Amino acid sequence: MSSAARSTQMAMRITRHFAAFASLAVPVLAAESASADVIYHVYNAVIPNNIDGIYLNVETNLFASAAGLVAGWDLNPYGTSTTAMSWFAAAAPSGCVTGLGGGTTVAVANLPLASAVSSVQTFGNTASSVTAGGWVLNAVNAFGFRFRGADGLTHYGWGRIQIGATMGVRTLVDIGYESIPATPIAIGSEGGPPPDYNPCAATNPSVSVGSNNLPLNQTTAVNLDLTASSCSFLVRKANYFKFTAPVDGSYTFNTCASGVDTRIAILDGCAAGSAILACNDDTCGFSSSVTISLNAAVPVYLVVGSGTKVDLPSPISVAVIPPPIPDCVNAAPAAFGANVFDNFATVTPQSVVTNLAGTTSATINKAMWFKFTPGTTGAYNISLCGVNGDSMLAIGTVCPGVGGTFQSIAYNDDVCLVAGSATSFLASFIDATNGGATGTFAGFPLTQDLVAGTDYYIVAGSFGATTSLTGTLTIGGPDQPTGNPADLNGDGFVTAQDLAILLGNWGGTGVGDINQDGTVSAPDLGAMLNAWG
pLDDT digits (tens, 9 = 90+) for 166-178: 888 999 999 999 9
* 25 backbone φψ class: left, alpha, beta (φ>0; ψ -120 to 50): beta
CA dist 378 → 333, 435, 454, 479, 489 (Å)? 19, 15, 12, 9, 15
Indicate yes or no: pTM above 0.75. no
Q: Considering only 23-27, 73-77, 510-514, which range has the smallest mean pLDDT?
A: 23-27
| Three-state DSSP state, 10 | helix
pLDDT digits (tens, 9 = 90+) for 83-104: 888 888 766 676 778 775 443 4
| Three-state DSSP state, 531 | coil
Domain residue extents for the chain: 3-186, 210-321, 327-480
CATH level 3 topology of 210-321: Jelly Rolls (2.60.120)
Res 314 pLDDT > 70: yes
CA dist 347 → 52, 342, 397 (Å)? 39, 12, 23
Residues whose CB falls within 8 Å of the CB of residue 103, separated by 6 or more in sequence, listed in order? none
What does the longest C-alpha to C-alpha distance in the chain come to? 82
Ranges 88-92, 245-249, 516-520, most confident? 245-249
Distance between CA 162 and CA 64 in Å, rounded?
A: 18
CA dist 243 → 230, 258, 301 (Å)? 23, 19, 6
Please report which confidence band the pLDDT of residue 293 belongs to, taking 50, 70 and 90 as the band edges.
Answer: very high
Res 31 pLDDT > 70: no
